[in-house]
Amino acid sequence: MLTEFGKIFVFLLVAIIFVAVSIFIAKLIRPVRPTKEKLKTYECGENPVGTPWIKFNIRFYVVALIFLIFDVEVVLLFPWALSYKEYGFYGFLVGIIFLVILAVGMAYEWRKGDLEWARPKPNIPYLKKIIKNQTGEINQLQSEESKIE
Amino acid sequence: MNIYDIIFYLFAAITLVSGFFVVSTKNIVHAGFYLLFTLFGVAGLYVLLGADFIAIVQLLVYVGGILILLLFGVMLTNKITSVDLRSGTSYIIPAVIGVGILWGALTAVLFKTSWRSKAPSGMDPTTSEIGRLLITDYVLVFELLGILLLVALIGAASIARRDKE
């Protein structure tokens, strides 16, 4: 008699064995004729530049942090959701208080803009105001002068 | 040696071997990936102990969340391959004394504890029982957990936030 986890374990074993066996059979029957071009990173002829070990952007890290905390929150809600009905309104209230406390954090993140993907600010070229003003003032002065004349 | 023992030794071997690779590899990204197997093996051990909720939490939070965070943390560091893991200083005698005491204590615990050596007979689902305890006996702990998570959320965001100025 298998428990539910036993079934998961059987699935796991089948998945691992399936992948291993199919890779092994493919290795047996496929022809192996490597050339220098075939062994390159990109077969399309692109030469790789630099190292693939690059520094990740810190934005990923912030998103992962926030994800992790809400992950823990959801995990803690599972046992509550399974048994709050037995305690009526009190059981409901316990979970709601828990959620409200975390909603404060959520509101904080939202207000501070941590949930938004921090885009790099585009550097839009613009005409400098000083020149505009100067020409405008000059134009105005000229028109006033012409009035006086 | 029944099927339960075989599966236990399988998961224990996964945990121990991958744990050895975590501490011995020179590439810290590889160490992170080996940690995946270590945490997964621990989840398997939890299942064998009959702690189904803990096992799923182990998979969801540790394998799914903390490992990703760890890998992002690794990716943020400057040096990833061939990290020199030696510290500059080494105190052999204090280290031997400290590790010896710890080892002795752990061995004492190992032999003094009366271990439940047979498999849990019924795999009763524990999640709703945990929920019942969280609502009744440990309701304060439950709400404090919410506050702890709130503190962690705000602290993490304000530390990791890019300076807007």
List pLDDT tens digits, range B118-142.
655 566 778 888 888 888 889 899 9
pLDDT number for residue A127: 67
Contact present, B40 and B59 (Cβ < 8 Å): yes
Interface check B153 vs A, CB under 8 A: yes
Mean pLDDT, range A48-72, rounded to an integer: 79
Same-domain status, B69 and B88: yes
Same-domain status, B50 and B73: yes
Residue A79 CA from chain centroid, whole number: 28
Residue A43 CA from chain centroid, whole number: 29
Alpha carbons B163 and A54: distance in angstroms, whole number: 22
pLDDT number for residue A115: 75
Among candidate residues B39, B34, B45, the one with its CA nearest the CA of residue B11: B45
pLDDT number for residue B85: 63
Same-domain status, B58 and B79: yes
Please enumerate in sequence order all residues whose Cβ is within 8 A of that of A37, keeping only pairs 6 or more positions apart, or say none. Answer: A43
Same-domain status, B130 and B101: no
Same-domain status, B107 and B135: no
Interface check B72 vs A, CB under 8 A: yes
The residue segments making up the domain with residue B152 are 126-165
Same-domain status, B102 and B132: no
Contact present, B24 and B38 (Cβ < 8 Å): no
pTM for the whole structure: 0.72
Alpha carbons B128 and A86: distance in angstroms, whole number: 11
Q: How confident is the model at residue A139 (pLDDT cuts 50, 70, 90)?
A: low
Same-domain status, B164 and B139: yes
Same-domain status, B154 and B83: no
DSSP state for residue A34 in the 8-state scheme: -
Higher-pLDDT residue of A5 and A105 is A105
> Of B85, B100, B121, which closes a domain?
B121
Q: How confident is the model at residue A16 (pLDDT cuts 50, 70, 90)?
A: very high
Kindly report which listed range (A22-31, B74-83, B94-103) carries the lowest average pLDDT score.
B74-83
Mean pLDDT, range A64-76, rounded to an integer: 88
Same-domain status, B143 and B86: no
Same-domain status, B71 and B132: no
Element (H, E) at B36: helix B28-48
Domains contained in chain B, number: 2
Q: Are the beta carbons of A64 and B146 separated by less than 8 Å? A: no
Chain A stretch 73-92, residues whose beta carbon is closer than 8 A to a beta carbon of chain B: 73, 75-76, 78-84, 86-87, 90-91
Kindly report which listed range (A136-140, B87-91, B145-149, B158-162) carries the lowest average pLDDT score.
A136-140
pLDDT at residue B12 tops 90: yes
pLDDT at residue B164 tops 60: no
Q: Are the beta carbons of B142 and A94 separated by less than 8 Å? A: yes
Residue B102 is part of a domain; what is its CATH number? 1.20.120.1200
Alpha carbons A77 and A83: distance in angstroms, whole number: 10
pLDDT at residue B162 tops 70: no
Same-domain status, B130 and B117: no
Chain B residues in contact with A80 (beta carbon < 8 A): 131, 134-135, 142
Alpha carbons A33 and B54: distance in angstroms, whole number: 49
Q: How confident is the model at residue B165 (pLDDT cuts 50, 70, 90)?
A: very low
pLDDT at residue B54 tops 60: yes
In the chain, the amino acid numbered A75 is: V
Token pair in block for residue B97: 């004394």
Same-domain status, B108 and B137: no
Q: Are the beta carbons of B156 and A65 separated by less than 8 Å? A: yes
pLDDT at residue A149 tops 50: no
Closest CB from B68, B76, B139 relative to A94 = B139
